[in-house]
Amino acid sequence: MSSSDLPASCVIFGASGDLTRRKLVPALYHLVKEGHFPAGLLTLGVARRPKTDEQFQAELLDAAQKYSRTKGVDPAVWAKVASRLGYVQGTFEDPATYAALKSRLDASAPTGTRLFYLAVGPDDMLGIVQRLAEAGLLAHDPASGRRAHVVVEKPFGEDLPSAHALNQELFKYLSEDQLFRIDHYLGKETVQNLAVLRFENMIFEALWNRNHVSHVEITVAEDIGIEGRGKFYEKVGITRDVVQNHVLQILTLVAMEPPLSLEANALRDEKVKVLRALRPLTGKDVGKEVVRAQYTEGLVGGETVPAYRAEADVDPVSKTDTYVAMRVFVDNWRWAGVPFFLRAGKRLSRRLAEVVVHFRDPPYPLFPESSGRSANVLVLRLQPDEGISLRFDTKVPGGNMRIQGVDMEWSYGKAFGGGGPEAYERLLLDALRGDATLFTRHDEVEAQWRFIDPIVQAYRDDNAPLSFYSAGTRGPDEAERLLVEHGQAWRPLL
Which run of H or of E encompasses 8? strand 8-13
Q: Would you call the peptide bond into 384 cis, given omega within 30 degrees of 0 as the criterion?
A: yes
CA distances from 177 to 12, 109, 115, 373, 420 (A): 19, 22, 13, 47, 27
- Verify whether residue 246 is a known catalytic residue: yes
From 99, 161, 89, 179, select the one nearest 131 (Cα to Cα): 99
Give the side-chain half-sphere CA count within 13 A for 266.
Answer: 7
Contact 456, 315 (CB under 8 A): no
Contact 47, 19 (CB under 8 A): no
| 160-170 vs 442-460: helix crossing angle, rounded to 10 | 150
From 314, 277, 295, 327, select the one nearest 455 (Cα to Cα): 327
Distance from first CA to last CA of the chain, Å, rounded?
A: 49
CA distances from 381 to 151, 302, 347, 353, 419 (A): 27, 25, 19, 6, 12
Which DSSP string do the residues of 169-235 spell out, in sequence order? HHTTT--GGGEEE--GGGGSHHHHHHHHHHHS-HHHHTT-STTTEEEEEEEEE-SS--TT-HHHHHH
From CA 277, how far away is CA 459, in angstroms rounded? 23
Contact 210, 334 (CB under 8 A): yes
From CA 166, how far away is CA 87, in angstroms rounded? 29
From CA 268, how far away is CA 113, in angstroms rounded? 24
Q: What single DSSP character describes residue 156?
A: -
Which of these is catalytic: 30, 149, 184, 246? 246
Q: Would you call the peptide bond into 7 cis, given omega within 30 degrees of 0 as the criterion?
A: no
At residue 24, φ and ψ (nearest 5 deg) are -70, -45
C-alpha angle 357-359-364 in degrees, rounded to nearest 5 = 170
Contact 429, 32 (CB under 8 A): no
From 33, 58, 42, select the one nearest 8 (Cα to Cα): 42
- Neighbouring CB atoms inside 10 A of 460's CB total 9
Task: List the catalytic residues.
Answer: 246
